[in-house]
Amino acid sequence: MDYEYLLLGVEDAVATVTIHRPDKGNALAPAVLEELEHAFLSLGTREDVNVVVLTGGEKYFSAGFDLNEIRRLEKVSNEAYTAMFHRTYRAILFCPQPVIAAVGGPAIAGGFDLTMMCDIRYASARAKFGQREIVLALTPIMDPLWRIIGLGRAKELTLTGRIYGAEEAERMGYVSRVFPEGQMLEGVLAIAREMAGYDRQCLRETKQLGNQILAQDLDTAMRTQEWLFRTYIGSEENHRRIDELQAKLAAARKGR
């Protein structure tokens, strides 16, 4: 599929999906949502992709909902539009591969929600975040937000609708790392390439485990993790990785 509002590239087992609607701050018009859903569903089936990076580039992430589109909606006929948003959210959230959000600029309302669906979030120092639905008389996506930053803080962000910077996002645990302005994409892609070099199935199972254990009691979660660990330890791939690591450590000691 040829995309009008996305740039898609695959290199070193990393797929980079870039929202590209700069004249509108990467606002999420229906066509953008449809393309994002298609891209993530397609990437989920690709054997040459181990990690996905979702970004809007170094200047934007996404300004959120296209307000002109929403203004045309009526309450009695909004089902298709609402379903479109949530299909896109689910395509990202349940993408089999780990998904990294690389946030170069404002991620507001619907744009913020897209970052919430990713497994890891990195930001530029110029990034801004805001769960702004309450300002528009809309209810927010509270889950998985509360799972990431805790229920109390999630309520504060969703009820006030305030906008906050990258450093505060890092302090609250929403963002894992803040990069200097202009260096975010380079840094995130380096992390993604290293991740993509790990065992493909182990990456996918680890992501699935992180989602699965949230709904389990502690005893069940421990048993699930024990069972999954047993499926990998002692495997041929496990032995190969150990041999590689030991060879690297030996070479490093020799070079001192």
Active-site hit among 35, 37, 58, 133: 133
Please write down the HEC assignment for all residues of the chain.
CCCCCEEEEEECCEEEEEECCHHHCCCECHHHHHHHHHHHHHHCCCCCCCEEEEECCCCCCECCECHHHHHCCCHHHCHHHHHHHHHHHHHHHCCCCCEEEEECCEEECHHHHHHHCCCEEEEECCCEEECCHHHHCCCCCCCCHHHHHCHHHHHHHHHHCCEEEHHHHHHCCCCCEEECCCCHHHHHHHHHHHHHCCCHHHHHHHHHHHHHHHHCCHHHHHHHHHHHHHCCCCCHHHHHHHHHHHHHHHHHHHCC
User: Does residue 237 have an active-site annotation?
Assistant: no
Query: Quick one: tokens of 143?
Result: 């889950």
- So which residues are the catalytic ones? 133
